[in-house]
Amino acid sequence: MSELTLTAIRLGLLALLWAFIFSIVSVLRGDLYGTHVVSKSSDRRGAPAAPARPAKPVRRGPTRLAIIEGPMRGGSLPLTENGVLIGRNPECTLVLSDDFASGRHARIYSGGDSWMIDDLGSTNGTFVGGERIGQGMPLSEGSRVRIGQTVLEVRK
Amino acid sequence: MKTKIAAPKTRRNTELVLLVVAVAIVLVAYANVGLAVNESLPVDFFTLGGGFAVVAFAFHLVLRWKASYADPVLLPIVTLLNGLGLVMIHRIDLAPGSPDAAPKQLMWTAVAAIAAVALLFFVPDHRRLRRYTFIFGLTGFVLLLTPLLPGIGRNINGSRVWIAVGGFSFQPSEIAKILITIFFASYLVQTRDALSLVGRRVLGLPLPRARDMGPILIAWIASLGVLVFESDLGTSLLFFGLFVGMLYVATERRSWIIIGLGLFLVGAYVAYLLFAHFQERVSLWLDPFQPGMSDQIAKGLMGMAAGGMFGTGLGQGHPELTYFANSDFIIPSFGEEIGLVGLCAILVLYGLLVERGLRAGVASRDGFGKLLATGLAFSMALQVFVVVGGVTRVIPLTGLTTPFLSAGGSSLLANWVIVALLLRISDHARRPTTENEGRPENLGTDDTQIVNVK
């Protein structure tokens, strides 16, 4: 085996290794530039799909619940058509590890044109804008929901 | 129209492409060894290479089936690291007078991958592991102590971290690491509120309350026990560091890190004063070229120096001159044959692996999953740091295995299981929430249940 071939393979191997690393990094670029890029592009992809189903009313309401206070501060979760169940029970969409939250504490669901929130009979209550709520309270963008130590904000 | 967030892609095809590249790199490296040493392709190029590829692609298919939203880069990275380890072990086997470790390692790769697949099958949701918190904790600590038992414990190379049963030796601390991480994660999720309470301030540093110091002291004593009775600084550092790291992540209190580091330094200094073999390690760290002492570190350093920037090329250096060139010193072996550029690539691969683990923790929606993923990723990072730091004289050399690279079945098995857990957590984190819930529409009509309150 000639020296030249071996050198070529040797350097080729190093080049391949680094090419592999760069392809991984390009797969992960969402991590590098933050998740905003991803959510924007998915919005854009969602927009042309809207006229395709004219039967249903188009809602341009809030899409996200941001956690702005409490142990999970900084996180957020999408508002989905199936509703978001919040509580201590591990089955919940948003699991709170908070002694002031009930197992199934509150539910956010889509009610016609806006998002609604139900308190599911919690012990310590669900508060929207400082007031304890019962069932069927509508939420708008910027509403703040407090459950135990956690505060959620409805965002676009 | 539903304001539907575009469903997250499973990204399994991305994984497949990356996996093909990873396997290709391993095959090129294997061919390179054969061409350089024997001037021909290795005779078993297609059987061994094919066997390795089958293991990797079978794992990929299982992921498509059982964890379709799992992180797409974990498996390719792990495949590449494991494959490069196999190639290097095989290459050291070729040197005269070396044992035949590569076929055994390939067998262990298959066993480890099967164990990881089994875990993906039997643990459809990582939160189930919380049910067995104390069983895992107890088993972990017992496993950690088994090498001390007379009869099955073995003292190999000055450290008593092995057990041998029927001609079959195993390092139980590797498995114990996983069990104890699960235990820590579950325990800290329950107790972190109390542990993050602030007591007195000393020099502007908010210290935890004295009564909350119990767990960290127990972990400290346990790790000192490992240090003293099993004389293994690496394992001891790994366990204590893991506990302190997870405590910090769980409570967000920097004071735990400072307390933990302080305790560790005190323990290590006392051990240094008391035990001759620690003094030997430290003096070799400060001056590896002393005459009349072990020249292992020195040989590793000379090997890496011989490799230079681009390395001698696989099969063209002499990494076999260092003792344990295929296990503890596999990093210098790589440094010699693929050079600084290649070694950096390996370190970046570890960095990406750890980053994906932490990322799974960030994305996970439950506290247990967050802590478990973070703990597993952190333990891997710490282990790589201890190993690479040891052979490059950043810290005194301690005997830990390099994840996925080193020859050794227990380490390989444990690390594949760790990756399976990370895959499971990332799958759970990225899966759209609607698939996680049962029947959310009927919640309002569900019966009221009695819930046990702690």
**Per residue in B385-435, pLDDT tens?**
999 998 998 988 887 888 999 888 888 999 999 999 999 999 988 887 655
From B167, B82, B52, B137, select the one nearest B408 (Cα to Cα).
B82
CB contact under 8 A, B25 and A16: yes
- Minimum CA–CA partner of A53 in chain B: B1
Instruction: Please tell me the distance in Å from B4's CA to the nearest CA on chain A.
Output: 7
CA-nearest of B54, B9, B5, B2 to B27 is B54
The pLDDT, as a whole number, for residue A104 is 85
Beta bridge partners of A118: A107
The pLDDT assigned to B314 comes to 86
- Cβ contacts of A121-128, under 8 Å, gap ≥ 24: A121/B448, A122/A87, A122/A147, A124/A100, A124/A148
Of B2, B5, B32, Cβ closest to residue A42: B5
Residues A87-108, mean pLDDT to the nearest whole number: 83
Residues 6+ apart with CB under 8 A from B228: B271, B275
pTM over 0.90: no
B5 with A11: Cβ contact below 8 A: no
Across the interface, whether the CB atoms of B342 and A13 are under 8 A apart is answered yes
Residue B306 vs residues A8, B301, B311, B332, B376: alpha-carbon distances, Å: 19, 9, 7, 10, 35
CA distance B429 to A95: 13
Helix (H) or strand (E) holding B193: helix B172-195
Angle A20-B392-B177 from CA coordinates, rounded to 5°: 75
Angstrom distances, CA of residue B11 to CA of A37, B95, B427: 17, 42, 11
**Backbone phi, psi, residue A150, to 5°:** -100, 135
The answer for residues whose C-beta is within 8 angstroms of residue B151's C-beta and 6 or more apart is none
Task: Please tell me the predicted confidence (pLDDT) of residue B397.
Answer: 84
A45 has a pLDDT exceeding 50: no
**Residues with pLDDT less than 70, chain B:** 1-8, 98, 156-159, 166-168, 198-207, 210-211, 433-454
A·B CB contacts under 8 A: 156
Which pLDDT value is given to residue A32? 61
Report the pLDDT value the prediction gives residue A46, as an integer from 0 to 100: 43
Is B208:B199 a contact under the CB 8 Å cutoff? yes
CB B322, CB B303: distance < 8 Å: yes
Place of tokens 């099967």: B114
Mean pLDDT across chain A: 77
Chain A residues whose CB is inside 8 A of the B425 CB are none
B247 to chain A, minimum CA–CA distance in Å? 15
Q: What is the pLDDT of residue B379?
A: 93
* pLDDT at residue A116 tops 60: yes
Q: Check CB contact under 8 Å for B440 and A1.
A: no
Mean pLDDT in residue range A46-74: 63
Give residue A30's pLDDT. Answer: 66
Among candidate residues B298, B29, B302, B130, the one with its CA nearest the CA of residue A90: B130
DSSP state of B8: P
Rounded Cα distance, B429 and B436, in Å: 10
Q: Which two tokens stand for residue B407?
A: 């020859």
- At B381 the pLDDT is 94
**Region label for B165, one of left (φ > 0), alpha (ψ between -120 and 50) or beta (otherwise):** beta
**What single DSSP character describes residue B209?**
P
Contact at CB, B440 and A7, closer than 8 angstroms: no
Interchain proximity B454–A17, CB inside 8 Å:
no
| pLDDT higher than 60, residue A3 | yes
pLDDT for B358 = 93
Q: Which residue of B has its CA nearest to A84?
A: B440
Contact A21 B316 (CB under 8 A): no
CA angle B362, B368, B373 (to 5 degrees): 50
Chain B residues whose CB is inside 8 A of the A89 CB are 451
